[in-house]
Homo-oligomer: A and B are copies of this chain.
C-alpha cells in the first residue's frame, strides 16, 4: 500500500501570534487540525456530524524549528506514516510553501464509532483518500 502526500495551505491570523510576536506553540496543533479537516472535508466531502465516525487525536507531538511571524499562510505537507485497522499516524511538515520548515508534527488518531465511542474500522472511503490506488494491470 502506498500513501499519498497532501499539501494544504492554512491561512494565518494576527491572533495566532502571542505576546512574543511569534505564532504561539499551541497554535501549531490548530494549524495541523485545520489542514486535516480541510483534507477530510474538502477532498472527501465527508461531513463532520452525527453518525459520522469520530477521528480522535490520542497522541500529538511537535518539534519546532523556526519561529513563525506574521505572514499570509503556511503550507502543511501531510504524509501517512502508518495505517492500522482503527488508527493511523500522520506526519505534518509545516513549511513556507518552499524550502523553509517551521516545524514537524505527528498525530496518532483513532476512529471511534460516534454512538458507542469505541474504536471502529477506518471507513473505506477515507482509506481510499489517503492511499494511492494500486496500478491497474
Contacts and interface: CB of A to CB of B under 8 A. Distances in A.
A14 B27 contact: no
A15 B11 CA distance: 13
A18 B17 contact: yes
Interface stretch (A33-41, A76-84, A86-94, A119-127): A33-41
Given A57-B64, A59-B63, A33 B10 contact: no
* A interface majority secondary structure: mixed
A129 interface: no
A62 interface: yes
Chain copies in complex: 4
Contacts of A37: 13-14, 70
A101 to B, nearest CB: 14
Contact of A26 (B11, B18, B27, B70): B27
B33 A14 contact: yes
Contact of A60 (B14, B25, B34, B54): B25
Interface residues of A, number: 35
Contacts of A17: 18-19
Interface in A1-34: 10-11, 13-15, 17-21, 24-27, 29-30, 33-34
Which 10 A-B pairs rank lowest in CB-CB distance, beginning with the nearest? A61-B61, A26-B29, A11-B11, A17-B19, A14-B37, A25-B57, A13-B34, A26-B30, A19-B21, A15-B30
